[in-house]
Amino acid sequence: MASTGPRRPLDLAQASWACAEPSGQSWATSTNLRRSRRAAEEVRYREGTRLWSVGDHAGYMLVLLSGVVQGGTPHGAVFHMGPRDVLGSLDAISGQARWFGAVATQELIALKLESEVLVDIWEDHPALACAFLRFIAASQLALSERE
């Protein structure tokens, strides 16, 4: 189960680091990140916590700040995601059910972004939406290169 509210609030630098691409470029400017942070909820999960199961409603995504999540599909594919990874974004944005299960394999700290709030932010700030889509595209390319 997630516990909300920071033990120690994250500052803008920590949140910026979490949202930076491996190239060092941020998917959000500091101004847009501040807007997103107001819409994000910091959540913490204990090791062993099931975040979601296959078929669950996908109403949010997580930007992982620390810890590791193990994902698994019904077909037996297993993968791990950690700091700076965005978990559940494509299904959350598309409104589709979760296509993989996710379990915290270490204590996890993340920013939780509700889909509806995120879309509202993107409508008001298209540059943030474009930057986020570039980030997702780069992440997907990096994943496909691992295979």
- Alpha carbon 95 to its chain centroid, in Å, reads 15
For the chain, what is the domain count?
A: 1
Closest CA to 142 of 26, 22, 25: 22
9-30 confidence digits (pLDDT tens): 554 444 544 454 444 444 444 4
| pLDDT confidence of residue 122 | 79
Which segments of the chain have a pLDDT < 50? 1, 3-6, 11-14, 16-18, 20-30, 32
Report the CATH number at residue 131: 2.60.120.10
Domain range for 108 is 3-146
H helix count then E strand count, the chain: 5, 9
Q: Environment class of residue 96 by beta-carbon count within 10 Å: exposed (0-12), middle (13-18) or buried (19+)?
A: exposed
CA distances for 25 relative to 35, 85, 134, 141, angstroms: 18, 14, 11, 16
Residues 6+ apart with CB under 8 A from 102: 50, 51, 52, 69, 70, 71, 87, 88
Rounding to the nearest 10 degrees, give the CA dihedral for residues 55, 60, 61, 66: -110
pTM tops 0.85 = no
Q: Is 48 left (phi over 0), alpha (psi -120 to 50) or beta?
A: left
**H-type helices in the chain, by residue range?**
12-19, 30-39, 89-94, 115-124, 126-146
34-48 confidence digits (pLDDT tens): 555 567 888 999 999
| CB crowding 74-95: b at 16 or more within 10 Å, else e | eeeeeeebeebbbbbbebbbee
